[in-house]
Structure 1
Amino acid sequence: MKSPAFTLALLLLFGCAEDPTALGDASTVTDAAGSDAGRVDAGPFVPRDGGPPAPTDCLGEALDEVFVLVTDLGGSAQSHLLRFDPEALRYTVVGEVSCPLDGGFLRSMAVSRDGVAYATDNRGNLFAVDTDDASCRATDMETEQEGVSNFGMGYATLGDTTEERLYITATGSWYRDETTPYRRLLSIDTGAYVVSDIGALEAPTPANMELTGTGDGRLFGMVVDVRDLRNLVITVELLDADTAATLERKRVNLEARSGFAFAQWGGDFWLFTEAPDGSARVARFDWETGEVIDTIDTALEVPGTIIGAGVSTCAPYDLI
């Protein structure tokens, strides 16, 4: 039997209307310290100034939303793909994700502007998931390139062009020898499935790091410092996508129980974790002020924890 501490470490390291697939009541809002503020109407979210218009090459309205990966680590290891609408604060099931796994489980995800959600498992395999129906296929990417076996991932454009790049981040963890910590920013060419090293990250060891990006070329990382499991430290960092240097860092006042995922949308960051009662919690973080604006808890109707999130560079990104 796994101890609670082991389960937490595992999760951190990897890590309704008329529509029958629309899930949950997302009206429980808590403050930044995590205290229950009662049952209130969270109301619709309005992005800052509406954000810039979506690029014309984006395929479909769904790419304006955030996709999340829910994996049942405590049971079947089955995963589901869901959409999260930050305006309506609702989750919608896309489908069950059945990738050809070899005993592993899915743990991170990034979404391209052409509607492909690239997902990785705990062994470093890369899969392509269709955001329309959650169908999954294996890719030809060889594992262990540049010594990477576990990684977080996210897309950002190259400057203000429509060309984008899939970035991945590998940080030291219990899966590697702590005497030789691994903290690197890399990229994946999804045409040739070649991994290229970019540079060293300024991250603690052990820690976990996920990525998200914008349509104007900015790349951000969410870092969970797990050196002390009783006192987890979460930061959001603006990264130099060319060198891996941290340009700006802000600490997030958020209690993380388990789960580990985030995405930018509409001028804020949306950090996904698990609430004390086991429901899905998403915290809305204001980059400008460095404050958690509110948190929304939702009881999902699929088993598991949100451990992956991805948003395409088509989404609004009016960050300060």
Structure 2
Amino acid sequence: MKVRLLFLAVLVGACSSTPQVDPGDLDGGAASEGGLLPGEGGLVGDGGVPPATGCDESTRLVHVVTEERGFYRFKPDTATLELVGFLTCEKSGAMPTSMAIDRAGTAWVLYSDETLWKVDIHDASCKPTNYVTGQGNFVKFGMGFSTNSNGGSTEALFLSDHFGKGLASLDPRTLVVKPVGPYTGDLRGTTSELTGTGDGKLYGFFVTSPAKIAEISKGTAEIQNAKELTGVYPGNAWAFAFWGGDFFLFTNASGPIPRTEGGSDITRYRPQDGSIVKLKEKIGVKVVGAGVSTCAPVAAPK
């Protein structure tokens, strides 16, 4: 079955399997000098990162998961949101709460009962993992992959604690959590969701009023270049993904409404010019996770 919603034509990358390294090998320094804001460089339009190689064309899409357990992909050629299937990972009544996608095209989905699952993005089929909850006191969190270097093909998975403890890494091979540290400045103790990029950057969507996006140091959890998103309020469900120089935000500020009448709003934040544009209102489903692989472009395709 396909559910089609008129939408912005966006693509993202998810790629073939590549080796992953221990997050402890990452640079422990501060966030990069390049910023979120227009004119600060580093993120948008610099052309310094070549297109990712070794990526599976069939998985070059952004994916979202909903509270209703729907697993969707964006189709850029027809500007539609297409249902891949409904997740049947957890039989206890638990719901998905967050998602990240690796370069192999596998979605990592966290459930409300603190279990972590691998989902095939082609058919929404699930496989359990041996992840043990509570490591480093991280039980509920946002997730995002980021490459270990600018334009690299290895990556690490990062977690952002829902209860304000900050940043950690999760080794995809051993499923061991390693806390990095608390966030800094005004965002210390704040909940966030994560998205990463192919040029080695990591960003957080922070649950403030209004919401903020900031670059995060993967080695220290230092916050840099926080941007307040005027008019964007997370509500009771939020997710975001980076693709082609833009951030795509999914928020549910109006609370629990019947899905036929409500659902998430979709907003685009474009750092290059500072614009914040609401693309779609009340799409009929409540998005709780968005995934984008590090194969996605870091600047708008030309």
| TM exceeding 0.5 | yes
Q: 2:269 aligns with which of 271, 277, 285?
A: 285
Matched, 1:191 2:168: no
Measured against aligned partners, the alpha-carbon deviations of 1:17-61 in whole angstroms (never above 9, x if no partner) come to: xxx6251233xxxxxxxxxxxxxxx7x569976975542222233
Measured against aligned partners, the alpha-carbon deviations of 1:231-259 in whole angstroms (never above 9, x if no partner) come to: x3200001111111012100011343442
**In structure 2, how many angstroms separate the alpha carbons of the residues matched to 1:183 and 1:204?**
11
Superposed counterparts of 1:59-208, under 5 Å: 59-62=56-59, 64-72=60-68, 79-85=69-75, 88-160=78-150, 161-172=152-163, 182-202=164-184, 204=187, 207-208=190-191
Q: Is the contact between residue 73 and residue 82 of structure 2 (CA under 8 Å) also seen in structure 1?
A: yes
Q: Is the contact between residue 23 and residue 92 of structure 1 (CA under 8 Å) also seen in structure 2?
A: yes
Q: Structure 1 residues 169 and 299, CA, compared in 2 at 3 Å: closer, same or farther?
A: closer
Q: 2:193 aligns with which of 210, 233, 240?
A: 210
Measured against aligned partners, the alpha-carbon deviations of 1:63-104 in whole angstroms (never above 9, x if no partner) come to: x221000113xxxxxx01101246754211111111135442
Cα deviation for residue 205 of structure 1 reads 7.4
Q: Is the contact between residue 245 and residue 272 of structure 2 (CA under 8 Å) also seen in structure 1?
A: no
Q: 2:243 aligns with which of 222, 244, 265?
A: 265
Q: Give the partner amino acid of 2:62.
A: V
Secondary structure of the corresponding residue to residue 146 of structure 1: helix
What 5-or-longer segments of structure 2 have no aligned partner? 13-43, 255-260
Tell me whether 151-160 or 92-101 shows the greater mean CA deviation.
Answer: 92-101
TM-score by length of 1: 0.73
Cα deviation for residue 316 of structure 1 reads 1.1
Q: Which residue of 2 aligns with 1:254?
A: 231
Q: Structure 1 residues 132 and 45, CA, compared in 2 at 3 Å: closer, same or farther?
A: closer
Q: Which residue of 2 aligns with 1:308?
A: 289
What 5-or-longer segments of structure 1 have no aligned partner? 1-19, 27-41, 73-78, 173-181, 226-231
Q: Give the partner amino acid of 2:117.
A: F
**In structure 1, how many angstroms separate the alpha carbons of the residues matched to 2:219 and 2:67?**
32
**In structure 2, how many angstroms separate the alpha carbons of the residues matched to 1:255 and 1:87?**
28
Q: Structure 1 residues 188 and 101, CA, compared in 2 at 3 Å: closer, same or farther?
A: farther
Q: Is the contact between residue 152 and residue 168 of structure 1 (CA under 8 Å) also seen in structure 2?
A: yes
Q: Structure 1 residues 46 and 60, CA, compared in 2 at 3 Å: closer, same or farther?
A: closer
Q: Is the contact between residue 50 and residue 316 of structure 1 (CA under 8 Å) also seen in structure 2?
A: no
Alignment coverage as a number of residue pairs: 259
Secondary structure of the corresponding residue to residue 136 of structure 2: helix
Q: Give the partner amino acid of 1:251.
A: E
Q: Which residue of 2 aligns with 1:243?
A: 220
Q: Is the contact between residue 183 and residue 189 of structure 2 (CA under 8 Å) also seen in structure 1?
A: no
**In structure 1, how many angstroms separate the alpha carbons of the residues matched to 2:131 and 2:91?**
14
**In structure 2, how many angstroms separate the alpha carbons of the residues matched to 1:280 and 1:163?**
33
Q: Is the contact between residue 124 and residue 151 of structure 1 (CA under 8 Å) also seen in structure 2?
A: no
Q: Is the contact between residue 165 and residue 188 of structure 1 (CA under 8 Å) also seen in structure 2?
A: yes
Q: Is the contact between residue 253 and residue 291 of structure 1 (CA under 8 Å) also seen in structure 2?
A: no
**In structure 1, how many angstroms separate the alpha carbons of the residues matched to 2:295 and 2:275?**
25
Q: Structure 1 residues 241 and 50, CA, compared in 2 at 3 Å: closer, same or farther?
A: closer
Tell me whether 96-105 or 236-245 shows the greater mean CA deviation.
Answer: 96-105
Measured against aligned partners, the alpha-carbon deviations of 1:209-249 in whole angstroms (never above 9, x if no partner) come to: 10001101010000012xxxxxx320000111111101210
Measured against aligned partners, the alpha-carbon deviations of 1:251-284 in whole angstroms (never above 9, x if no partner) come to: 0113434420000011100001237651432101
Cα deviation for residue 293 of structure 1 reads 3.2
Q: Structure 1 residues 279 and 100, CA, compared in 2 at 3 Å: closer, same or farther?
A: closer
Query: What RMSD, in angstroms, separates the aligned Cα atoms of the two structures?
Result: 2.6
Task: Considering fraction of residues, name the structure with more strand.
Answer: 1
TM-score by length of 2: 0.77
**In structure 2, how many angstroms separate the alpha carbons of the residues matched to 1:247 and 1:205?**
12
